[in-house]
Structure 1
Amino acid sequence: MMLKQLAFAIALLAAPAVANSADGAKTYDLLFRNGTLDEISRDKTLFYHREVTNALKPEAGERDTGDIALNFSTDEDGMLKISFHKEDKMRGMGRFPASVGNPMIMVFYESVIRDMAESAGGSPFYIRNRVKDALIQTSEVIEGEAEVDGRMVATKTVSLFPFKDDPNRDRMQGFGDLEMQVVMSEDVPGWYLSMTADAPGAGDGPVYHSEITFDTLGETR
């Protein structure tokens, strides 16, 4: 799985990119796109991998690194079930209506909000509000390409900096420089190719790195 992620990263960096500006409403609609699960067979499961490093709380990074499965409920109630898998352990992460779109975007944002509050302190409500505000600001949409399963696909990338102008950013233990980046593609089942949060820090390594990467669309396990 790590080789696959490395190949994706190399291809993405090498691909030509074109930047277009999108107002807040368009940015939000792109990130929270409706209908992204409509064409996926209900007997399939979307698999993702989450990799986390956390210099402020290393044990949390270890705890939160693992695989995420998104599958349709067998109750035929139009709901999705998300579960986290690590070695031989599994825990539920919630149920979401499939009709809205792929809830992995919400899983991504909420996990970063939780991690920041847990590691750097501060109110999760304050952090969430800053992230929500960033979602409706004008942003650049970078058009490029990435390699997925041996073929090049067109991508759109949006980056958000929720604490760029925050008056409290110097008290956030490095999270004031947090960048949240989402790479999307029509050719990737479920729309999201990768979702990354980085707080680079001033030392030898990042304060925080969280990446959820699409793995495969496979049979329900």
Structure 2
Amino acid sequence: MRVLLLLALILLGFGSGPLAAAGTYELLFRSTALTGLKAASDVGEAGQGTLLYDRVITGADAGQAAGSFSVALKVKPDDRATMTLHQGTRSRGLGTYPASVGNPLIMYFLESVLADIAAQSGGSPFYMRNRIKEALLRDAEIVPLTVRYRNRDVAAREVTIRPFLKDKARERMGRFSELALTVTVSEDIPGWYYSLVATVPAVSGGKEAGYSNAITFKTAGEDR
């Protein structure tokens, strides 16, 4: 968890990056993502501040990380946000964060993807983390689209970055150089994030499936 907190501080420290990347940064790290959500109590009350996400990791290379999970995020009355990972009857805490700096889900997503890709490729997680940081300061692919929420279409934006697209070590990374990080955000989705997806294609001509790590908004407390 210390690593996750460190990554959060590093990434959030990019607020002074080039103006060309300001739009991308603001979309991915919305500081007001949790603003206005009714806090959940510690005695079982859900409130709008309880957000649930589905998380699915697939691919032949995913190994022990593969599977279906859920992530619960709760906004507390004292400006704290807690996250818990659930799989079947098992659960574990993912940390406590200041709600005023945004939704920590994206930090958890990036760190888990980084750990998976580093383990699968045998590459340095420090090198990969730096490439992701640099990609956040470059232009991204931003596409307007609509998503379904409460049985209606709502406006959203899909932000995609490819951190190793122009990397000098691209050839040595093989198919992992094709990593794409796609985040779909919307003002109408509680917590800001509709989905966060990392993909790596399968080996060309191979039989093994590519790697995918997807977190998708499921419901807010008020939607139950």
Q: Post-superposition shift, 1:204?
A: 4.4
> What corresponds to 1:133 in structure 2?
134
Q: Post-superposition shift, 1:93?
A: 0.8
2:29 partner amino acid:
F
Deviations 1:160-199 (A, max 9, x none): 0001111222333421101100000111000100000110
Answer whether contact 1:34 1:100 (CA < 8 A) is retained.
yes
Pairing of 1:14-53 with structure 2 (within 5 A): 23-43=20-40, 44=47, 45-53=50-58
> What corresponds to 2:144 in structure 1?
143
> Larger % of helix: which?
2
Q: Post-superposition shift, 1:27?
A: 0.6
TM-score calculated relative to the size of structure 1: 0.82
> What corresponds to 1:59 in structure 2?
64
Answer whether contact 2:83 2:96 (CA < 8 A) is retained.
yes
1:98 partner amino acid:
A
Q: Residues of 2 paired with 1:58 and 1:149: CA distance?
A: 35
Aligned length: 194
Q: Residues of 1 paired with 2:150 and 2:174: CA distance?
A: 38
TM-score calculated relative to the size of structure 2: 0.81
> Larger % of strand: which?
1
Structure 2, unaligned runs of 5 or more: 1-18, 41-46
Higher RCO (CA 8 Å, separation ≥ 6 residues): 1
1:218 partner amino acid:
G
Q: Post-superposition shift, 1:127?
A: 0.8
Q: Secondary structure at the match of 1:90?
A: strand
Q: Residues of 1 paired with 2:145 and 2:59: CA distance?
A: 29
Q: Residues of 2 paired with 1:154 and 1:101: CA distance?
A: 20
> What corresponds to 1:120 in structure 2?
121
Q: Residues of 2 paired with 1:24 and 1:168: CA distance?
A: 23
Answer whether contact 2:37 2:75 (CA < 8 A) is retained.
no
Deviations 1:87-120 (A, max 9, x none): 0000111111100111111111111111111111
Pairing of 1:91-130 with structure 2 (within 5 A): 91-130=92-131
Q: Residues of 2 paired with 1:205 and 1:190: CA distance?
A: 35
Q: Secondary structure at the match of 2:114?
A: helix
Identity of aligned residues (%): 42
RMSD: 1.7
Structure 1, unaligned runs of 5 or more: 1-21
Q: Residues of 1 paired with 2:125 and 2:191: CA distance?
A: 28
